[in-house]
């Protein structure tokens, strides 16, 4: 999910393979290009046209915005450098901010407003030769659903830091919050679902976040945080700019920052207030969930971390036991979902893997906000339906959507090549990193959602197999 500030972009192009890597106009953008802004049924939009359009349109779907973190203007890509590069090479860009420009779970509006914008482009500017559906984080669910629902309209899909099973994401959040409340704040009276009002929701979110922060300082708390992270496959990396931590406390601390920021706050009670108002009730449940089984199916590294953390707690005389904690979770009353709300989130936020057109995903390996597990699950669903062209690319880095403009562009060129020629080309990490390295410094910076920092990083494509997604909706 997107937690703060700017969206990281997804965009693509056709015939761009004929252009040298990193080549752009000296002023960073096309001379004589046109920009159109307006509103369709209450949804602000922006369209950017290059001087010499190559006929390709990139329809960009932004991610999840938190209240108070809405960007200024309608963004067409993650970075301004990405937008300028694409325009400089002849590609048209368009995006809607959805009705009301409101934060939260705006998937239903997005699915309508993006198609209204595409029809507007076709009517007022001209029908594109090819349209690419691109999106990041929650916007990847929008992009994927658009391609599935309107297969004749889209030539390919680019899904960046994809969260394509958003009902599953909210169930994952519920699992983490359930462990935190049960084991770290049992007397706090925290309501995890069906928040009564904004003030109560904010107080409950603060209580969850406070319990996580306090637990980081004790052996017993760290053990239970490791358990909360493992049952959701939350990685032990957070910062895009620092090496992956190796010490026990440091690895759990990285997990706990994801738990505190993404799941106690972003997808916590305040986020649920918005979600449930749209869905008509609570769409999340943990009835029938065996957390011992979920731990057993977690990534082996995370299971080992839990064992090590509980062992360290026992050695320190902290008085916690893994089997006793799992029994406590098993014995705590579960949370049932509202059927109508479940149906809503399945209808608005679940990509089903039925695409027939080329699809490319780009994900960081250390993304705990949108775990890479969902991308692996998506690939399995596509393969189960048909032999559709689907490729997964990974960058070895912590952070949510923390790839660079150059890494993004290189990935999108690969999608473009597939759309234009029918061939993926060389997608080995070394080849992709070489392509990334040919871009200038402006394209080599990654954004950290946690701090708001934008800093240079090294190219870091890698081979990676995500673990099993532990809470799939279907």
Q: How far from 161 is each of 147, 154, 372, 458, CA to CA, in Å?
A: 17, 20, 8, 19
Query: CA angle 320-323-327, nearest 5°?
Result: 105
Instruction: Name 274's Cβ contacts closer than 8 Å, sequence gap at least 6.
Output: 103, 104, 105
Identify the pLDDT of residue 356: 84
Q: Mean pLDDT, consecutive 10-residue segments, the chain of 474 residues?
A: 31 25 33 83 94 92 78 83 90 90 85 97 93 94 96 94 95 98 96 95 97 97 98 96 95 97 93 94 97 98 98 96 98 97 96 90 96 92 74 95 91 85 93 96 93 94 96 92
Q: How far apart are CA 453 and CA 458, in angstroms?
A: 16
Q: How far from 206 is each of 4, 64, 259, 268, 385, CA to CA, in Å?
A: 17, 20, 12, 9, 43
Question: Could you tell me how far CA 448 lies from the centroid of its own chain?
Answer: 13
Q: How far apart are CA 411 and CA 237, in angstroms?
A: 23
| CB atoms near residue 42 (< 10 Å) | 11
What pairs with residue 394 in β-bridges? Answer: 363, 462
**Domains assigned to the chain:** 16-164+349-462 (3.40.50.1820), 167-344 (no CATH)
Q: How far apart are CA 160 and CA 408, in angstroms?
A: 8
Identify the pLDDT of residue 150: 95
Q: How far apart are CA 375 and CA 394, in angstroms?
A: 10
By the 8 A CB rule, do 138 and 1 touch? yes
3-state helix, strand, coil in the chain (%, to 5): 45, 15, 40
Nearest to 242 by CA among 14, 453, 15: 453
């Amino acid at each position: 999910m997107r937690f703060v500030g700017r969206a990281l972009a997804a965009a693509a192009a056709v015939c761009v393979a004929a252009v040298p890597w990193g080549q752009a106009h000296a002023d960073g953008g096309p001379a004589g290009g046109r920009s159109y802004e307006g509103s369709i049924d209450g949804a602000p939009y922006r369209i950017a046209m290059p001087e010499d359009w190559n006929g390709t349109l990139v329809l960009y779907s932004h991610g999840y915005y938190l209240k108070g973190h809405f960007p200024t203007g309608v963004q067409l890509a993650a970075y301004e450098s990405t937008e300028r590069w694409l325009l400089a090479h002849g590609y048209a860009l368009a995006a809607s901010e959805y009705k009301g420009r409101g934060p939260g779970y705006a998937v239903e509006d997005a699915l309508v407003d993006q198609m209204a914008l595409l029809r507007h482009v076709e009517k007022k500017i001209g029908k594109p030769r090819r349209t690419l559906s691109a999106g990041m984080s929650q916007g990847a669910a929008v992009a994927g659903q658009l391609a599935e629902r309107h297969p004749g309209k889209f030539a390919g899909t680019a899904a960046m830091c994809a969260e394509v099973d958003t009902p599953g994401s909210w169930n994952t959040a519920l699992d983490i919050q359930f462990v935190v409340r049960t084991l770290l704040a049992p007397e706090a009276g925290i309501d995890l679902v069906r928040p009564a009002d904004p003030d109560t929701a904010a107080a409950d979110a603060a209580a969850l976040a406070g319990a996580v922060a306090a637990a980081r300082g004790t052996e017993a708390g760290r053990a239970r945080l490791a358990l909360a992270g493992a049952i959701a496959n939350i990685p032990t990396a957070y910062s895009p700019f620092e090496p992956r931590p190796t010490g026990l406390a440091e690895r759990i601390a990285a997990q706990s920052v994801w738990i505190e920021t993404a799941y106690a706050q972003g997808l916590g009670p305040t986020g649920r207030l918005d979600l449930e108002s749209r869905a008509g009730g609570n769409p999340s449940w943990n009835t029938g969930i065996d957390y011992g089984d979920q731990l057993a199916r977690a990534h082996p590294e995370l299971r080992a971390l839990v064992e090590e953390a509980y062992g360290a707690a026992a050695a320190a005389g902290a008085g916690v036991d893994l089997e006793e904690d799992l029994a406590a979770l098993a014995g705590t009353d579960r949370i049932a979902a509202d059927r109508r709300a479940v149906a809503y989130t399945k209808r608005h936020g679940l990509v089903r893997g039925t695409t027939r057109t080329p699809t490319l995903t780009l994900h960081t390996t250390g993304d705990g906000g949108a775990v890479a597990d969902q991308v692996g699950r998506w690939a399995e669903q596509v393969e189960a339906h048909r032999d559709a062209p689907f490729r997964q690319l990974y960058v070895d880095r912590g952070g949510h959507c923390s790839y660079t403009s150059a890494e993004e562009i290189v990935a999108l060129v690969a999608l473009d090549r597939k759309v234009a020629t029918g061939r993926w080309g060389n997608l080995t990490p070394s080849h992709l990193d070489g392509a990334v390295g040919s871009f200038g410094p402006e394209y080599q910076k990654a954004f950290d959602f946690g701090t708001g920092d934008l800093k240079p990083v090294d190219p870091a494509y890698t081979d990676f197999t995500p673990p099993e997604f532990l809470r799939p909706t279907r």
